[in-house]
Structure 1
Amino acid sequence: MASASAGVGRQLSNLLYRRSTLRLFLLLTPPLLWFGVVYLGSLLALLAQSFYTFDDFTMAVTPEFTWVNYQALVEDTNLDIVLRTVGMAASVTVASAVLAFPIAYYVARYTQGLAKGLLYVAIMLPMWASYIVKAYAWTVILTKGGIIYWFIGKLGLTGALEWLLEQPIVGGTSLSTSNLGRFLVFTYVWLPFMILPIQAAIERVPPALLQASADLGAKPAQTFRTVILPLSFPGVVAGSIFTFSLTLGDYIIPQLVGPPGLFIGSMVYTLQGSVGNLPLAASFTVVPILLVGAYLAMARRLGAFDAL
């Protein structure tokens, strides 16, 4: 019996060895089924529900085709939510790129061995902590009496901070209830996702190009502008995919930090939870899907996927 099973196994092994196409098909079938049925199927179901009808009186959802949900998206209140979310996602992406580039450049060009390993751990360490714990911790850090207010007081900049909080775009009685505080938390949470792709892209830049630029008389600023930045820019775009899309769909930080004001993620959470308006919630989710899809198409043309 054992010898017969071994013989069948040997025959099957020989068959798969000779037919690489069959081996590849069997290997990819489970993940492709998961991707096609579970992932794409759920997205298509979500898209279909965005055209359903919601009765405000009975709170019932019926599968009757309507454009009302998408018409509601362009109303002033809902459009303001979309623009607020996109604006925050864009600003967090830009700030993360500005902060991440010097860190990534230092790790890629000036460290090696143990020092590089320690810096990798330092960059990755915040990602090991619970996301909700970090968000709650920042509410304490940003509140009046927190460490940031203490540090600003030591610098004598309390008046400048109060003036800044009075500005409409910043808005809030303290950092923990302001758009600035929300922006700081978003940037902190997603910064590692920007550092790592940029660092990988910078490491791919041949040192010979930097030496050739210096030999030709280029100053460090010229070398950065004409050699390093263009060749590492796909890494910036790759990191921006994470920072932009993750900010776009987040709903926890907007609830814990910052002034009252819904984001797309928190709006979806509210509509499908307490209100029960699944069709309108589904139409809201289509917005980030379309935005991220267009952004991915642009990133692919810029070679960002080569830096992942």
Structure 2
Amino acid sequence: MTASGVLGDEEAAGLRRGVAAFLHRHARVRLSLLLSAPLAWLGLAYLGSLAALFVTAFWSTDTFTGDLVKVFTWANFQDLVTGEVYRTVALRSLWVAAAVTVIDLVIAFPMAFAMAKLTSPRAQRWLVILVLTPLWASYLVKAYAWRVLLSSDGILGWGYGLTATIATLSYLWLPYMILPIYAGLERLPNALLDASGDLGARGWRTFRTVVWPLTFPAVVAGSIFTFSLSLGDYITVKIVGGKSQLIGNVVYDNIGAANNLPFAAAVATVPVLIMLVYLAAVRRTGALDNL
């Protein structure tokens, strides 16, 4: 190897050492480089699609040809605000999402507490696997299984409607509530529970003053999953909801049969705005700061 080649290798090695030393001293620069690729993908795939959604919501469709008219208009949002049917659908969707969240919370909290505090480490691992097992099955298979159970000639025989929809969604999203609460309870020191009992607090007071405040961020995390997933779901309503309509069904119908993509985009902004309001309200409680 020539002298110039050796010199070039030494310069390259020195440059690499200099870059490594610089990144070692500047943790923020190192973190920014590590996150640049996923953040770029997030900006293009997720935020870009949201931007396209909002832009499309201000377009319209030619009623004669069915072509998109790319001219700014508030007509879609005016129809949403003035249409009593759409207000009813939005309120019904909120009610269903809230009901699913409350039901999952009532079921998930004692299950998560038993998993985190009342079982051995080996049993905890098996219980976590059992909680995750339903997530490995197909969404459609589980929804149609509930349709068989809740149909007029099924085991439960409740028929189709909002009750069947809430029951099915509560089952589908229950693991998303159990796992965050379980993680929050697992971080809760047992010494705090023992100290509360030593100071004379009964079970309910211990729960109210110790367990609930410290696990509230985990409950919020679970509620974000169950609430948002229920708010935007439309497949379950199609399968077990009968004639019930939620926001997701209105979006689906306007994309398919009605061929009105701009109005579907306008309707799709409703759950996005609802979740932004929900997250802002939760953030004011400080729960997200402790996740």
TM-score, length-scaled by structure 2:
0.89
Superposed CA offset, 1:151-172 (max 9, x none): xxxxxxxxxxxxxxxxxxxxxx
Quick check: 1:250–1:265 contact (8 Å CA) kept in 2? yes
Root-mean-square deviation (CA, aligned residues, Å) is 2.3
1:9 and 1:139 mapped to 2: Cα distance? 66
Deviation at 1:307, TM superposition (A): 6.2
Residue 290 (str. 1) matches residue 265 (str. 2): no
1:109 and 1:69 mapped to 2: Cα distance? 52
Residue 47 (str. 1) matches residue 50 (str. 2): no
Aligned to 2:116: 108
Deviation at 1:14, TM superposition (A): 2.1
Matches within 5 A, 1:154-193: 174-193=157-176
1:126 and 1:261 mapped to 2: Cα distance? 26
Aligned to 2:76: 69
Superposed CA offset, 1:240-290 (max 9, x none): 000000001111001001221221112111111222111111111111111
Deviation at 1:303, TM superposition (A): 4.0
User: What letter is aligned with 1:301?
Assistant: R
After TM superposition, the structure 1 stretch with the greater mean CA deviation from structure 2, 183-192 or 197-206, is: 197-206
Residue 85 (str. 1) matches residue 101 (str. 2): no
Quick check: 2:251–2:265 contact (8 Å CA) kept in 1? yes
Residue 231 (str. 1) matches residue 242 (str. 2): no
In structure 2, runs of 5+ residues without a counterpart are none
Aligned to 2:150: 142
Matches within 5 A, 1:259-298: 259-298=242-281
User: What letter is aligned with 1:272?
Assistant: I
3 and 115 in structure 1: CA distance in 2 versus 1, 3 angstrom threshold: farther
Quick check: 2:217–2:287 contact (8 Å CA) kept in 1? yes
Matches within 5 A, 1:24-43: 24-43=31-50
Aligned to 2:137: 129
Quick check: 1:201–1:307 contact (8 Å CA) kept in 2? no
Aligned to 1:170: none
306 and 124 in structure 1: CA distance in 2 versus 1, 3 angstrom threshold: farther
2:134 and 2:8 mapped to 1: Cα distance? 51
Deviation at 1:294, TM superposition (A): 1.5
SS at 1:175 equivalent = coil
User: What letter is aligned with 2:250?
Assistant: M
2:114 and 2:99 mapped to 1: Cα distance? 24
Quick check: 1:17–1:23 contact (8 Å CA) kept in 2? no
Superposed CA offset, 1:15-44 (max 9, x none): 441122554343222112112223212211
Quick check: 1:53–1:66 contact (8 Å CA) kept in 2? yes
Quick check: 1:47–1:286 contact (8 Å CA) kept in 2? yes
Q: Across the two proteins, how many residue pairs are aligned to each other?
A: 283
1:9 and 1:252 mapped to 2: Cα distance? 57
1:8 and 1:27 mapped to 2: Cα distance? 25
2:93 and 2:285 mapped to 1: Cα distance? 24
Aligned to 2:127: 119
Quick check: 1:198–1:239 contact (8 Å CA) kept in 2? yes
After TM superposition, the structure 1 stretch with the greater mean CA deviation from structure 2, 297-306 or 204-213, is: 297-306
Quick check: 1:200–1:307 contact (8 Å CA) kept in 2? no
SS at 2:71 equivalent = coil
SS at 1:177 equivalent = coil
Residue 247 (str. 1) matches residue 230 (str. 2): yes
228 and 56 in structure 1: CA distance in 2 versus 1, 3 angstrom threshold: same
12 and 31 in structure 1: CA distance in 2 versus 1, 3 angstrom threshold: farther
Superposed CA offset, 1:132-152 (max 9, x none): 111111111222343x33xxx
Deviation at 1:193, TM superposition (A): 0.4
4 and 55 in structure 1: CA distance in 2 versus 1, 3 angstrom threshold: farther
Quick check: 2:61–2:260 contact (8 Å CA) kept in 1? yes
113 and 202 in structure 1: CA distance in 2 versus 1, 3 angstrom threshold: closer
56 and 106 in structure 1: CA distance in 2 versus 1, 3 angstrom threshold: same
TM-score, length-scaled by structure 1:
0.85
